[in-house]
Amino acid sequence: MTSIATLGSHCALQVLKGAKDEGLKTILVCEKKREKLYKRFSFIDEYILVDSFVEVLEKQCQQTLEKNNAIIIPHGTLIAQMSSEQIESIKSPIFGNKWILRWESDRERKEKLMREAHLPVPKQVKSPSEIDKLVIVKRQGAAGGKGYFMTASEEDYNKKRNELIQQGILSEDEILYIQEYAAGVLAYLQFFYSPLKGELEFFGVDQRHESDIEGLARIPSEQQLKHNKVPSFNVIGNSPLVLRESLLDEVYKMGDNFVEAAKRIVSPGMNGPFCIEGVYDENAKFTSFEFSARIVAGTNIYMDGSPYYSLLFDEPMSMGKRIAREIKNAKESNQLDKITT
Ligand code: AMP
């Protein structure tokens, strides 16, 4: 019997509930400190208790996964807590394309893939000395926005960077990525590409709520100036959004282009869930500053199905359930190798 395994964080509940609903066995790799939380949910069949998620790489854990014919569903925590080399060395099959996760973690590769997909990306600013307008400074990998900051001059860049180093948020040798700031309405576009059907599905849109940048926007400007700490973009939660219907055609085009580009440059391509993240400006023009090449936590808002999936499926369909359905279909038609790496 095939099982579904994931790390206990991010979107584990949704993923495992979806798997259970599809009749698959569910396994949670769970940090001991979170065991009490996850034990509240009856759809988790088996626990692999660990002190730290990197234990997934150890023999004992791998043997349990192997014994259960487990397919691992990768999510943001896997990427945040393990290096690309570590992820690629996992023996169990990983849903989607584990090779593309390196392209998500590495800023230079990320930009290359986005350009290949013709996504309108903000300009990169190569060095702090070239900062002459509002920019956002980012860390590598899926840092969740923590340690990001905005600035408009080299002097202020150095001041903020030093402050974050002193606070232990950034390390001295960390290579930061500087990008022009794109102002507008945040929209995180969530997709699923099925290599079995050769079809792209648009699942939904979410917005992230980030602290304390969002909190700052709620206080008058003179008090903002007294906020003597570098504001962060730490994600606290997500909320749903639906787009003007006239924007949907372009949304599908961006998704299709991304799938095509991924097929060309990182085989076997962008299989499974992914997200294109950006902002719509006042002319409804989209600028994309990121992608996630796996399920995003923003899909958690649609655990009972999303508005756009209700147009495609005659049953409540979460992203977790969609993944499990794909695995079931692949298993039945002997095509598991098409949807895992
Ligand atoms: P990221 O890790 O790139 O998804 O960025 C985290 C957050 O920073 C996003 O959710 C946005 O709020 C903000 N952000 C990132 N890049 C940009 C950009 N180029 N322009 C405006 N906001 C951005």
Place of tokens 């569903």: 73
Q: What is the pLDDT of residues 15-54, one digit of tens each?
A: 999 999 999 999 999 999 999 999 999 999 999 999 999 9
Ligand 1 centre distance from Cα of residue 71 (Å): 31
Pocket of ligand 1 contains residue 135 by CB under 6 Å: no
Q: What is the pLDDT along the chain (341 residues), one digit of tens a residue?
A: 899 999 999 999 999 999 999 999 999 999 999 999 999 999 999 999 999 999 999 999 999 999 999 999 999 999 999 999 999 999 999 999 999 999 999 988 999 999 999 999 999 999 999 999 999 999 876 566 778 899 999 999 999 999 999 999 899 999 899 999 999 999 999 999 999 999 999 999 999 999 988 988 899 989 888 877 888 888 999 999 999 999 999 999 999 999 999 999 999 999 999 999 999 999 999 999 999 999 999 999 999 999 999 999 999 999 999 999 999 999 999 999 999 99
Residue 143 is predicted with a pLDDT of: 63
CATH 3.40.50.20 maps onto the chain at 3-94
C-alpha angle 115/289/126, rounded to 5°? 75
Q: What is the pLDDT of residue 29?
A: 98
C-alpha dihedral over 212, 214, 215, 221, to 10 degrees? 110
Name the residue with the closest Cα to ligand 1, atom 15.
289
Give the Å distance between the CA of 58 and the centre of ligand 1: 35
pLDDT at 139: 87
What does the pLDDT read at residue 142?
55
Atom of ligand 1 nearest to the CA of 144: 2
User: Ligand 1: which of 131, 134, 135, 136 to mutate, judged by most atoms within 8 Å of the beta carbon?
Assistant: 136
Ligand 1 contact via 141 beta carbon (within 6 Å): no
CA-nearest residue for atom 2, ligand 1, is: 145
Q: Which residues contact 59 (CB under 8 A, 6 or more apart)?
A: none
Q: What is the pLDDT of residue 212?
A: 85
Stretch(es) of the chain classified as CATH 3.30.1490: 124-180
Q: Using CA of residue 107, residue 240, residue 53, residue 29, what is the dihedral sign?
A: negative
**Cβ(210) – ligand 1 distance below 6 Å:** yes
Say if ligand 1 is within 6 A of residue 122 CB. Answer: yes
Q: Is 288 helix (H, G, I), strand (E, B) or coil?
A: strand
Token couple for 242: 């639906």
Find the 120 Cα to ligand 1 centroid distance in Å. 14
**What's the longest Cα–Cα distance across the chain?**
63
Task: For the chain, give percent helix, strand, coil, nearest 5.
Answer: 40, 25, 35
56 lines ligand 1 (CB under 6 A): no
Amino acid at 322: R
State the pairing for strand pair 25-31/46-50.
Answer: parallel
Q: 139: Cβ below 6 Å to ligand 1?
A: no
Task: Provide the sign of the torsion angle of the four alpha carbons 113, 118, 123, 127, taken in this order.
Answer: positive
Give the number of other CB atoms < 10 A from CB of residue 110.
Answer: 20
For position 140, what pLDDT does the model report? 77
Could you tell me if the CB of 179 is within 6 A of ligand 1?
yes
Ligand 1 midpoint to CA 167 (Å): 22
Taking the centre of ligand 1 as the mean of its atom positions, its distance from the CA of residue 84, in whole angstroms, is 22
Q: Specify the DSSP class assigned to residue 114.
A: H
Nearest-angstrom CA–CA distance, 36 and 311: 37
Q: Rounded to the nearest whole angstrom, what is the distance from the C-alpha of residue 11 to the centroid of ligand 1? A: 20
Cβ proximity of 309 and 317 under 8 Å:
yes
Per residue in 95-104, is it b (16+ CB within 10 Å) or e — as a string? bbbbbbbbbb
| C-alpha 59 to ligand 1 mean position (Å) | 38
* Domain 124-180 belongs in CATH node 3.30.420: no
Domain 3-94 is of which CATH architecture?
3-Layer(aba) Sandwich (3.40)
Is the distance from CB of 48 to CB of 62 less than 8 angstroms?
no
Query: Which residues lie closer than 8 Å to 168 by C-beta, 6 or more apart?
Result: none
Q: Which CATH architecture has domain 105-120+183-338?
A: 2-Layer Sandwich (3.30)
Phi-psi domain of 147 (left: phi exceeds 0; alpha: psi -120 through 50; beta: other): left
